[in-house]
Each structure stands twice: as structure tokens, then as C-alpha cells.
Amino acid sequence: MKITKVRAHVLEARLSQPFSYSRARYTTRTTMVVEIETDVGLVGWGECYGPARINAAVVESLSTLLIGQDPMRGEWIWREIYSRYRDHGQKGSIIQGLSGIDIALWDLKGKFLGQPIHRLMGGPLRSEVRAYATGLYRRDEGRPDVYLAEEAAGYASEGFNAVKLKVGFGVSEDARVTKAIRDAIGPTVGLLIDANHAYDAVSAIKLGRKIEGLDIGWFEEPVPPEDVAGHRQVREALTIPIASGECEFTRFGFRDLITTRAVDIVQPDTCSAGGLSECKKIADFAETYNLRYAPHVWGSGIAMAAALQLLAVIPSFTPLSLNPVEPMLEFDRTEHPIREALLLVPIEHRKGIVQVPDGPGLGIEIDRRVLEQFAKAT
Ligand code: CA
């Protein structure tokens, strides 16, 4: 089997209702899909998280290196790309482009062998995964303590046993809204908060102390990703577990977060931190330090399928303060027209539980018409 063509599809969809988090307001959703064709007629799919056009340029420029290669040699290809661009691309778009390529190569490997990726990685350890609901973003109008409480209660009644709230809007405001969400979902549903690195260590600790009594499952990205010591400072000051890693790349990037115990939960994005090959290594690295792994997912059904294949082979954790202690899938509940349409059979939850796809490769089928429908004009 040889690679014959590599394509990067940049997709964009306008939202019916814009929404915001601590650092930006979304009016559109974009997706960057990697498609790798082979001489045996098999096609592999991947996705890159991050700036879509820049990542597409990375993937397109790497295509000359990929064409003619054997896609089964994913480890060799990963190392070849990484070492060629090591001097300039240890983090960011080079690794995000490589992530989408690596996922597509795993999809091809699975299709060629007729096995789901998790079987090729030695699993499954589980065939279904508990999901937590990511939503609770700010709207342009209304009182957040009212509309977010309503939204959170809705996720709880759908069967999700944890929800994630966006914070980073000021310590007092965050504390007030967090309390409103806890009241809305009751004491038994997990409550996670995510500041998207809006704070410095001092403010993050101040917020943490105000909400420590609300049984917060984790405090995600309290401080900027470069501030490893700040993560550790927050972690040491609070009893709330600290999560981070969606802006970090490769096992080399995660080394300091893990070995200095700056976090309790590592959160690489499979479509950004180096793909399935690298994220399996980061997961093993985290396990070595007895840290939890919770993949960041903010993409289409390809990103969800990749995360699920990995979640199927990640071991359970020693208990911390959040139930359950099985690794969880981040299940984005915000509006995403591309995510809804791209898979012929969408990935759904049933009472907060998601089945790991068990077809060959990623176990998904792409609706090619959607690639044209949402193609971004260049
Ligand atoms: Ca996040």
C-alpha cells in the first residue's frame, strides 16, 4: 500500500447564535479534515485542531514527503516529519498538521487490517465511555446565572453525570455563577470549571478558595499554558484537582507538566498534540506518574472517534475527588453544523454513555457531500 494523494479540507459553518468564553466570541465553527488516498483504494481520515488554514498549509506542504510512502509505517513517518521540522516546529501548527496526518494513517492501517484502531493498540479495555457535557458558554443576552443553570440542569436530566462550565469572567462573577450551576445540578452531578487560562496564579487561587466547598471535579487551564510553575502554585494551594494540556504538544512538551506535578489531569488534544501515536505515549507517561488523562475534544466526529479509540485503551485511575474514575470523553454540546453532518452515522450519547466505534480504523464513515457543502472559499 502506498500513499497517492493528501488533501486538506478547510470547512466553515456560520452559527445561528454566537457564543463566548473568557477569551473569544465564536460566530463560526471551522474544521480542518485530512484525507489520505492510497493505491489500493483505501482512504484514511484525520482532523487537525487549531488554525484551519495554517494547518491546511502545513498538511499540504508535507504531502510531497508522504506521497509514495507506506502508510503502515506511521511511527517512521511521525519521526521523519518531527525530526525534519524539529528546529522550528516542536509546538504549534507543524505538530497539529502532523496530528491530523497521524490519525489518518491509523485509520488507513485499521482499514487495511480490517480492525478498529483500539484493537491494534492492544485493546479494548472498555467498549463504552462515560462522557461529560461541555457547554455552558456565554450568550450575547440574558443573565448567565439563569440561562446557564437551566442549560446545566438540561444536561443532567439527559443523563450526563458531569458538566463543564466556562469561567474566567472575574473572580466574584465566576464564584456566583459556579454556585448557581451547583445548585441547579444538585450534589451528585460532577461540576468541572475551565478558565481557558484567563487568570494568573493569584486570581486563580482566589477563585478556587471561594468555590472549594462546591465539590469541583477539576479546574481546567487556570493559568496560561507556558506557566508551568503557575499551574503548580495553584495546584499546591487548592484541594481542587488541576487539569491542563489542550495547548501543549508532544511528550516533550508534557514532560514538565507531568514530572513537576503541575497538574492532576493531563488533557492533550489528539488532533493537536501529535495524533494517536503521540497521545498514547503521553497517556503512558501520565500513568507512570499516577496522573489522570482526559483528552481535550473540540472538533467534528473525526476528532471524537479518534479520542474514543484512545479512550478504549487508557487504564482506569486511582481515585481522586471526582466520580467516576474511568477516563471520560469531552462531549461538546455547543452548536457545530459540521460536526452534526460530517459522519454518515453520527457519534451520539445515550444517558451520557458513548460507544467506542468498532468498525475498521476510526470506525466512522464520512459524508463527502458535507466536505463540499461547508468548503471554505479561499
Ligand atoms: Ca478547555
Q: Are 11 and 32 in contact (CB under 8 A)?
A: yes
| Site of grid cell 439527559 | 158
Q: Are residues 242 and 295 in the same domain?
A: yes
CA–centroid distance, 181 to ligand 1, in Å, is: 18
- pLDDT tens digit string along 10-32? 999 999 999 999 999 999 999 99
- pLDDT tens digit string along 90-113? 999 999 999 999 999 999 999 999
pLDDT at 318: 72
Q: Are residues 197 and 313 in the same domain?
A: yes
pLDDT at 15: 97
Answer yes or no: is 316 within a domain: yes
Q: Are residues 247 and 347 in the same domain?
A: yes
CA–centroid distance, 224 to ligand 1, in Å, is: 12
With cut-offs at 50, 70 and 90, classify the pLDDT of residue 325: confident
CA–centroid distance, 116 to ligand 1, in Å, is: 28
Q: Are residues 281 and 348 in the same domain?
A: yes
Q: Are residues 315 and 186 in the same domain?
A: yes
pLDDT above 90 covers a percentage of the chain that reads 97
Q: Are residues 215 and 290 in the same domain?
A: yes
Backbone angles phi, psi at 95, to 5 degrees: -75, -35
Does the predicted TM-score (pTM) go above 0.85? Answer: yes
Q: Are residues 242 and 334 in the same domain?
A: yes
Answer yes or no: is 362 within a domain: no
pLDDT at 377: 73
Q: Are residues 167 and 309 in the same domain?
A: yes
Determine the structural domain holding residue 78 and report its residue range. 3-114+367-373
Q: Are residues 89 and 197 in the same domain?
A: no
Mean pLDDT, residues 216-237: 98
CATH number of the CATH domain containing 77: 3.30.390.10
Q: Are 34 and 98 in contact (CB under 8 A)?
A: no
Answer yes or no: is 76 within a domain: yes
CA–centroid distance, 368 to ligand 1, in Å, is: 29
Answer yes or no: is 125 within a domain: yes
With cut-offs at 50, 70 and 90, classify the pLDDT of residue 322: low
CA–centroid distance, 246 to ligand 1, in Å, is: 7
pLDDT at 165: 98
Answer yes or no: is 178 within a domain: yes
Answer yes or no: is 344 within a domain: yes
CA–centroid distance, 217 to ligand 1, in Å, is: 14
Number of domains in the chain: 2
Mean pLDDT, residues 38-58: 98
Answer yes or no: is 255 within a domain: yes
Distance CA 96, CA 297 (A): 14
Mean pLDDT, residues 263-267: 98
Distance CA 249, CA 50 (A): 12
Helices 171-185/144-158 angle, 10° precision: 40
DSSP string, 346-373: ----BTTEEEPP-SSBTS--B-HHHHHH
- pLDDT tens digit string along 279-313? 999 999 999 999 999 999 999 999 999 999 999 99
The catalytic residue among 9, 118, 231, 296 is 296
Neighbours of 143 (CB within 10 A): 11
- pLDDT tens digit string along 117-143? 999 999 999 999 999 999 999 999 999
Count of alpha carbons within 13 angstroms of residue 78, beta-carbon side: 22
Answer yes or no: is 378 within a domain: no
Predicted confidence (pLDDT) at residue 331 exceeds the cutoff of 70: yes
pLDDT at 323: 56
pLDDT at 376: 85
Q: Are residues 45 and 181 in the same domain?
A: no
Q: Are residues 105 and 150 in the same domain?
A: no
pLDDT at 324: 52
Mean pLDDT, residues 179-208: 98
Q: Are residues 89 and 134 in the same domain?
A: no
DSSP state of 374: T
CATH number of the CATH domain containing 325: 3.20.20.120
Residues 6+ apart with CB under 8 A from 307: 270, 295, 297, 329, 330
Known catalytic residue: 231? no
CA–centroid distance, 24 to ligand 1, in Å, is: 13
